[in-house]
Amino acid sequence: MKEQRGAFTSSFGSMMAVVGSAVGLGNIWRFPYLAGVNGGAAFLPLYLFLILAVGLPLILSEFILGRASRRGAVGAFRYLAPKTKWYLVGYMGVTAGFCILGFYSVIAGWSLRFLFDAVLNAHAGQSYEEIAAGFRAFRNSGWQPILLSGVFLGLTAVVILKGVEKGVERWNKILMPLLLGILLVLCVNSFTLDGFREGMAFLFRPDFSKITANTVLDAMGQVFFTLSLGMGVMITYSSYVTKSENMLRSKGIVTLIDTSIAIISGIAIFPAVFTFGISPTQGPDLIFLTLPNVFAKMTGGQYVGILFFLLISIAALTSMVSIFEMMTNYLMEEFQLKRRRAVVWLLCALFFVSSLCALSQVEGSRLMIGKYNVFDFLDMLSSNYLMTIGGLLIVIFAGWRLSPKRFRKTFTSDGRYNNRIYPLFRFVIRFIAPIAVALIFLSKLNLIGG
């Protein structure tokens, strides 16, 4: 017997669920370091333009497919393009989500490790080199990253087991306001630091001479990464939303919140970086290795560190919930599994893959696929190929394969909203967005850019 399909019960709940999917390590970890290596304020206006011109149309494309079909990542294409191979795009999304959770759960486990260290004040008096050495020892232990990634996967599974309304929706309504509250507390703390003025100048006083082709590509890549596009997550979530909702307004608010959290993260981070003489161009190490060193030197830094890594952990959890739900929905729709059985199967498979990812990072590990260890291979496969190709095909499907009548009916909620902006939106979906996504794909293959 097929299990009854879930649905979001309120506009606020559906909005928080979508925000929870979009807001993750991409906002709090990836955006600050990309802004740092791309000149700070030179990166910001370009990013804001692209998220409006490209990101919003892309997320709405996925929502149109989910809402028009009332199905998940694979089922949407089967319903909207029967007797064709378009359903393979959905399989790409499911595969991308599986790969991402395999290594993302390991990174989420790192955030728990640093949260525990902050609670114990373990980094007090330590240099950057000592913190880095401790982190290497943690990764080389093998069992510790496996255990913590398993904890994160278990927490995610508990939320998903509760279903769409009592799990995904309810917990996002709790966690997202908590995340925003912690972030605002960290921003207030930034106002008290000596490097506040310098940090704000770095973030908001642009030097447009620093913009290069790579800056543009990094900004487009961040738009794609932060909104969880190309995996079918937004297709699945939109299938739970009522048909009467104003999509442009609700998804516009989601995009605004997602972007605001990325900017607020920069406000929280860069003043601390400049106060203690750290280079803002540290790259990926900025969050996990550099900032613990900063917190160790800061008055009250232990409490700031606790809040910060709690923030990272919450962001990781809400993103993992969205991907896990997409894959659970796929198993329920395609194989008529009960939610509990689908979740247990996924949990076991993902724990096995995340364990391989964690072990592949141990120094001297032979868990390699070609020139990549398992962790890096799944990262490369999902972000360079599956997400970008999937995103390109989704936007092509929405703009060129979906009938104009169905497209307009879904976008305007049967003519209730957004009739005037519809022609512009359809033009962007058909012509602008595919070019932008194609450029991202070519840049990931190093065929364009520096």
Return the half-sphere exposure (C-beta side, CA atoms, 13 A cut-off) of residue 153.
28
Q: What's the confidence (pLDDT) of residue 38?
A: 83
- Which tokens sit at 236? 């699945």
Q: Pull the structure tokens for residue 141.
A: 């232990």
Tell me the one-letter amino acid at 378: L
Helical segments of 121-227, H only: 128-141, 143-161, 163, 170-191, 196-204, 213-226
In the chain, the domains with their CATH numbers are: 11-444 (1.10.4160)
Element (H, E) at 310: helix 301-335
Low-confidence ranges of the chain (pLDDT < 50): none
Residue among 19, 56, 11, 18 nearest 245 (CA): 11
**C-alpha gyration radius of the chain:** 21
**pLDDT at position 68, please?**
94
The answer to whether the CB of 205 falls within 8 A of the CB of 53 is no
Collect all residues with Cβ–Cβ distance below 8 Å to 409 and sequence separation of at least 6: 68, 415
Q: Which has the closest alpha carbon to 291: 230, 307, 157, 253?
A: 307
Is residue 279 within 8 A of residue 198, CB to CB? The reply is no
Coil vs helix vs strand at 403: coil
First to last CA, the chain: 55
* Nearest by Cα to 411 from 290, 301, 248: 248
